[in-house]
Structure formats: structure tokens, C-alpha cells
Structure 1
Amino acid sequence: MPATPVTLTASDGVRIAAWHHAAAHGADPELCLVMGHGFTCHQGMRELQAIAGALNRTAAVCALDYRGHGRSGGLSTVGDHEIHDLEAAVRYAAERHAKVVTVGFSMGASIALRHAALMGGVDAVVSVSSPARWYYRDTVPMRRVHWFVERRLGRAAVRLAKRTRIAPKGWDPIPEAPFEVVGGIACPLLIVHGGRDAFFPPDHGELLYERAADPRELWLEPEMGHAEIATTEALSLRIAQWAARAAAGPLAPEAPRAG
């Protein structure tokens, strides 16, 4: 799958690395899916490359590394200032394609939701495994995440093990939580959440759906785990097909699947 490396600049000056995949043969060249990863991930990961490849069968793809991750500069603010990174990628995509849909995973999903609500400018949004609320500590994995983010030793460990650079200063002010702003999204919204998500249980997806405005859909995938690691090729293809339908015009719900 051919990809063109792109260097973007967020509105606050942070350098953002991205890759633009032209639409594959038979895909819609007018549609671009802007793909954002979860915390400690990057677009060089095998799982994200597989997802990009599946999405690319339907549309062009612009995949970015958020600040403090992968090949991008800056420090991660764990979903706060990253909406500026996503805006830079959306603007890049919109200059080249008629329709733009954002697709985010975990932290990237919370960024996509907040970006669509606070900045807009996209034709549809897909949220996969997003937290609904901040400071969630009711699962063991999320207690570990908080230790990594809030403790100096934890930040050093993540930088060494995952090459993720986290800003030492916490949120000030605290950004709007996804459930607080999701009702302001004015385009079609798809919320995907796994029934076996070890980080954020399904009630996070349900709360987001409850607070969102129509047109909206909720896919609760009973056997799915968390975010990009648990996103199969089949689910990626379904997401891309939903995005194409959503960007094309009035959206009908996905047809029921056998079984």
C-alpha cells in the first residue's frame, strides 16, 4: 500500500508526522479517513498498519502520530492539545479530498469526539473504545495508565518502553470530557465499543451514545477487547463502509448481520 510521508504543523507549532495513502484501486478517491491511534501507540505498529490497509480498500487514508508519539514532536497531553494535531490532519485531507471522516481509537477516539464537537469540519466521526469520562480508575489497566501519566517514574518507564513522551504538567484547565461535548457533534457519529474491553467497560460507549445527537449509531461488539489491538480486518471493513455511507448523505442504520 503506497504511502506518502507528510509533516504537518499543529496550530501551536508542534510538528506532526502523518502518512497519506492514496485510495486503492476501486476505492472512493473523494473520501479520506483520518485515523488517530491510542495512548502509547503509533502508526508504525503492525495492528494500525493492518487497519489502515483495510480502510484503504474503501477510501484514501491519512494516518497520524499524535504529539509525543512515534515520529511526531512535542509531548503528549493524553488527549487535550491533540485536537490541534487532528485538526492539522483534517485540513490536509480536506485540501485533497471532498469528504473527510475521522476514525479514532481509545485516546484517539476521545480526541476525534472532542475535535468534532469543538472544531467541526468533518463529514462523520467514528469512535472506537473511547472513554466517556476522565480519571477513570475502576479497572486495573486504567490504574496503571494513571501511574504512568502522573508519576515521574511512570513517565520515564513509558518513554523507555514505548518511546512515548508525556508532558510532566497535568491538565490545567481540565478539558471537556467526551460525554460532556458529544451532544454538540453535528455530523453522523458511530460509536464502537467492545464487550470485553479491559480498560473501559461498555457503559462508556453507552453513555456516549445516550448523550449524542442523531444521526448516531452504537455498535456493541460482544467479543471485542480494546481499541486497535482488538480491531479485526472485518470490523475495519465495516467501519470503512459505514464511513462511506455516512459521508455520502442521509444515513440509514447498518443492516443486521446474520447470527
Structure 2
Amino acid sequence: MMNKAKQNWGRPSWKQMLLGGFVGGGIGVLGAIAGVGLYIVDTLIRPKRQTNFIEQYTFSPFEVNLPAEEVTFPPLYGDYEVSGWFVPSPGATTTILICPGYRGRRSDLLGTCVNLWRAGHNILAFEYYGHGEVVGKPVTLGYREINDFLGAVAYAKQRVPETRLGAVGYSMGAAVALMAAARAPEIEAVVADSPFATHRSPIDYAVRRTLHLPFFLFDWMTDMILWWRAGYHFNQVEPLRDIGRIAPRPVLIIHGLKDSIVNPNDAPLLYKAAGNPKELWLLPDVDHCGAYFEDRVAYVNKLVNFFNLYLKEMPAPIPLPERKESQAADSDGHHFSEAG
């Protein structure tokens, strides 16, 4: 009797084996999903160190005869310094903030910088901390970087307080510029080149293009790992939610329809959510942030005409007293930044 019981215990029934298979398979699938989510988040936030001479040596303002001054300034929140170039233009009444995107360097912006400077604007070009030449703590996709942009706004207002401010951003920098402009009424005109509509969007786009799987399979797990590893959730970085707060200040959205990094469908979504005045410039055969290289003359003319109209010819869309009231209201609300 005892031997028979032991024999039955040693041989699981087909029901037990099936249940074990389901459990084991479920654990395996969950582990695979968690593995993909962890890979996505670690790839996103891991600092990238320069590994070869091509990355270490690049063009500077010297090569284009740009009288740039090396500057640093603190972010709105944080214990580090943001690196930038300030380029004064004699008699300028305007200052344009220019920022690159994810892993971008300020040297990537020289073409835009020199042409807007020649058009009579002061230039403050900067790179997000940890993304460019300075590699420090882990980066994010706009959540902490907005502090750097708002620090640039404060620096510009302290350096040239009499000038009107505009902004040009690329990729993540464009998304950050939109979110920051919604919080900083000093920014009177925004050009956003290849911005994403939500934090989730470029990750979804990358997963579908590389793994050929729908991102919803990994969405929840990736969001939880992002909170665990970086301290924020996807929905805390959404230019689509913020862009409507920029009006009546103008927004120009630029996007290539062959973009392989940010879904081109994000541009019409942002345009629809924005208030007037607004403009959408779509280029049919252009990849990510490639509009400048597709037609440099047309691109420069578009930006120069945009800032000339809204910063030099037209009066400020928001009177100074209302700007101060808006700032006070924002300071009492929930901060977007890491410190908040």
C-alpha cells in the first residue's frame, strides 16, 4: 500500500503536467516580457560614453567664425551645470534658445546657430546634461531634461533681460521645448523639429519596427521598470497634453514623413492639439531631423521668417503682467521636474 502511494506520488497525472506546463510557460512569458522591458529602460537611461576619436573631436564655433562664449548655468533643479554657447548679436532685441535631442551635442546645432545669429538674434545653444560631451548620471527622455531647458530660460533672462525669447528644439529637445514653453511664458515662439507626442510613442515605434511586435505586450511592465529605475512614468512626459497651453504664442512643427525614430503621425496629433497661431511643415522624403539637410536655404528661411514675424514685427502675445501671474500659478502647482 505504501509502495503504491509512493509510486503514484512520483508519477504526476496528465492534469498536473498540463497545469505545470501552463504555470512554467506563464512564468517564462512573464520573464521574457520583463527582460524586454528592462532592456528598453536600461538602453534609454544608460549614459553613453564617447568611445572613438570621431565622437571626441567635432566642429566648434571657431570653424564657422561664430563669436561664441563658453557658458555654464544651473538647471531649474539639480546639483550640476549645463554647458552651452552664448553668441551675442550687437543691437539684438531677441534671443533664441537652441537645443539638440537625445544623446545630441551642441555642435550638432552649428548650422542653425550661425544662420539665426546672422539674422540678428542672440543665440543660447546648450546640450542636455549627460547627453552630449558631459556624461554623468543616467539620462531620461525629457523628464529631467526639462530642468535644463528652464535653467536656460532663467540664464537668458538674466543675461539679456531686455530681449524677447524664442526656442528651437530637435527630437527630444523639441518635445522638451514644447513642455517647457507651456510652463515658461517668457518663451514667445517655438520651433519644434521632429518632436514626439508622448514618451510612450517613440518606444512603441521602435519596438514595432525592430521586434515586429505590438508594444502593448510590454507596456505595463516597461512602465513599472521605468518607475523603478528612473523614478517616473510614461505619462509624466507628454508634449501632447501640454502644447495647448502655449497659445496664443506661435508654434511651428517640422517633421519628415520618412522618420525612422519618431512616428511621423505624432506631428499631426501635436498640431491638432496646439492653439493658434500654429504651422505644420511636413516633408515627404525626409528622415529624423533631416529637414535642414534636405534644403538648407528653405529651412533657414522658414525659421528666420518665423522669428522675424513673431519676435520682431508683432507685439508680445502675452503682456508682462499676465506672464508673471502665469508663473505664479505654475509655481503653486505640481512640478514636472525630478525635484517635484
TM more than 0.5: yes
Which of residues 307, 310, 320 is equivalent to 1:243?
307
Q: Which moved more, 1:117-126 or 1:33-42?
A: 117-126
2:205 to 132, 138, 150: 138
Which structure has the bigger radius of gyration?
A: 2
Superposed displacement of residue 40, structure 1: 1.0
Alpha-carbon distance in 2 for matches of 1:185, 1:125: 9
Q: Write out aligned runs for 1:1-259 (5 A).
A: 1-13=66-78, 14-23=80-89, 29-45=92-108, 48-58=109-119, 59-72=121-134, 74-95=137-158, 96=160, 97-136=162-201, 137-139=204-206, 168-172=229-233, 174-186=235-247, 187-227=249-289, 229-232=290-293, 233-234=296-297, 235-248=299-312, 249=314
Preserved CA contact (<8 Å) 2:198 2:235: no
* Cα distance between partner residues in 1 of 2:307 and 2:170: 15
Please tell me whether the aligned partners of residues 224 and 231 of structure 1 are also in contact (alpha carbons under 8 angstroms): no
Contact persistence 2:205–2:263 (CA under 8 A)? no
Q: What secondary structure sits across from 1:231 in the alignment?
A: helix
Q: Give the whole-Å Cα distance in 2 for the aligned partners of 1:35 and 1:169.
A: 26
Partner amino acid for 1:51? T
| In structure 1, C-alpha distance between the alignment counterparts of 2:126 and 2:282, rounded to whole Å | 26
Higher helix share: 2
Name the SS for the 1:213 alignment partner.
coil
- Stretches of 4+ aligned residues off by more than 4 angstroms: 139-144
Q: Normalized against structure 1, the TM-score is what?
A: 0.78
Taking structure 2 as the reference length, the TM-score comes to 0.60
| Worse-matched range after superposition: 93-102 or 232-241 | 232-241
Q: Is the 8 A contact 1:32 1:93 kept in 2?
A: yes
- If asked which structure has higher relative contact order (CA below 8 Å, sep 6+), I would say 1
Counterpart of 1:113 in structure 2: which amino acid? Answer: L
Distance 1:240 1:94, change over 3 A: farther
For 1:53 and 1:168, locate their aligned partners in 2 and report how far apart those are by CA, in whole Å: 39
Structure 1, 75-84 or 125-134: larger mean CA deviation: 75-84
Specify every segment of 5 or more residues in structure 1 that has no aligned partner in the other structure, as ranges: 152-166, 252-259
State the 1:176 CA deviation.
3.8
Percentage of matched positions with identical amino acids: 29
Q: Which has the higher strand share?
A: 1
Q: Count residues in correspondence.
A: 227
After superposition, the CA RMSD in angstroms is: 2.8
